[in-house]
Amino acid sequence: MASQKGCCKTGPGYATPLEAMSGPTETLIYVTAVYTGTGVQKPDYLATVDVDPSSPTYSKVIHRLPVPYVGDELHHTGSGRIYVVDTKTNPRAPSLHKVVEPSEIIEKTGLAYPHTSHCLASGDVMVSCLGDKDGNAKDNGFLLLDSDFNVKGRWEKPGHSPTFGYDYWYQPRHSTMISTSWGAPAAFTTGFNLQHVADGLYGRHLYVYNWPGGELRQTLDLGDSGLLPLEIRFLHDPSKDTGFVGSALSSNMIRFFKTKDGSWSHEVSIQVKPIKVQNWILPEMPGLITDFLISLDDRFLYFVNWLHGDIRQYNIEDVKNPVLTGQLWVGGLFQKGSPVVAVGEDGQTWQTDVPEVQGKKLRGGPQMIQLSLDGKRLYVTNSLFSVWDKQFYPEMVEKGAHILQIDVDSEKGGLKVNPNFFVDFGAEPDGPSLAHEMRYPGGDCTSDIWI
């Protein structure tokens, strides 16, 4: 889902990441809300949430923009459509500007399952695509739309497609783009099956391209320590030649970096050890790092463990030696009251204390995160993908997702839940929905790239 205002030519235009940090405090946040897979036969929609504490509608959904079709699974591309939303004309009530139909994308490029979009300095929009129309990964690649959102073609050169697709980030001063690998849509759209990993239907590689040329220059095999590398971020400082990728299944944060000879390498930076559990499908539970981000000053890295249920904050000022500075439990499969229990080294069982917010029990685990420009507020949703939600957190599909706001100590580090903010998507007019990706009207630390 792209936004007109998020594109390079019409965004707020901060010259540097540090300048963006002193931009205006957010008053609105846009959230994809999904009915696909929940049993509610209604279109998914874009929810506008009021995040201004001085507003009478603070912490409430103030507008809903339903898309025209049922079954899209917004953000995770259930249909392959790309919706372009006009957030500039009326930010509090965005409108649908254009629909790019999957038939046109497939006809002109062979691509399907569009996922991550970034704006380019040219005014074009580039979208990673995860496979072909039949859900095979082999024909995935990168879609280019022009500034009027017409299909231009593929970005990568012929014969330079990655084996799997998912996320990507580019660093123009180093003439490099790096993409990640989730898996074949035919596999992940049916739920998570470990056998599919063994069968080679999921990825473990990073793909290094020259930018903006589109030639695949290097493939980094992350091995067993890098299974299902999902989100990727360079440091925001455009002069830096390093960044991180979150390996979901291995539950490691992996740092990639440029070497003296100009090639790229990687190392495991942070390890989240699996936890021994009872009453679950496996004897050990991975954290499942599904999202992470870096503050605009490149001081702090935040990530979530969707299955364990914690949000973590690391100081990365010494980028080779991250230091844990904050950790908060806001869900997870072994919270108190759950049949699943964790087992310590000493054989003793334990469960996590998860706070209630405004009298509501927190459901699911932390999944997507978004940080305020000044780095002081972290927004958290809890839905991953409807079929995976149903598999791991069926109660959330039944009762709906929610958004939390976490107050961040951006000086010394530390995280705490803001008790005054809770958006309950279980109370939506058409029934409980699944809240997922979050964006601001004018760009953020997960979408903006400096050149």
| CA distance linking residue 142 with residue 152, whole number of Å | 11
User: pLDDT tier at 3 (50, 70, 90 boundaries)?
Assistant: very low
219-229: pLDDT as tens digits: 999 999 999 99
What's the confidence (pLDDT) of residue 12? 56
Output the pTM of the full model.
Answer: 0.96
Residue 7 has pLDDT above 80, yes or no: no
Contact between residue 314 and residue 327 where contact means Cβ atoms under 8 Å apart: no
Cα three-residue angle 393-193-388, rounded to 5 degrees: 25
Contact between residue 381 and residue 435 where contact means Cβ atoms under 8 Å apart: yes
Nearest alpha carbon to residue 423 among 371, 375, 374, 363: 363
Residue 110 has pLDDT above 70, yes or no: yes
Contact between residue 386 and residue 358 where contact means Cβ atoms under 8 Å apart: no
Q: Which two tokens stand for residue 298?
A: 């490149």
Question: What is the DSSP code (8-state) at residue 392?
Answer: H
Interacting residues of 163 by C-beta distance below 8 A, sequence separation 6+? 137, 138, 181, 203, 205, 207, 219
Q: What percent of the chain has pLDDT over 70?
A: 97
Nearest alpha carbon to residue 82 among 112, 109, 42: 112
Contact between residue 125 and residue 119 where contact means Cβ atoms under 8 Å apart: yes
User: pLDDT tier at 75 (50, 70, 90 boundaries)?
Assistant: confident
Residues, the chain = 451
Cα three-residue angle 255-259-262, rounded to 5 degrees: 125
Residue 3 identity (one-letter amino acid): S
Question: How many angstroms separate the Cα of 414 from the Cα of each of 33, 256, 326?
Answer: 29, 26, 4
Task: Count CB neighbours of 43 within 10 A.
Answer: 19
Does residue 390 sit in helix, strand or coil? helix
Contact between residue 170 and residue 147 where contact means Cβ atoms under 8 Å apart: no
What's the confidence (pLDDT) of residue 249? 95
Q: Distance between alpha carbon 444 and the CA centroid of its chain, in Å?
A: 13
pLDDT (mean) for 131-156: 96
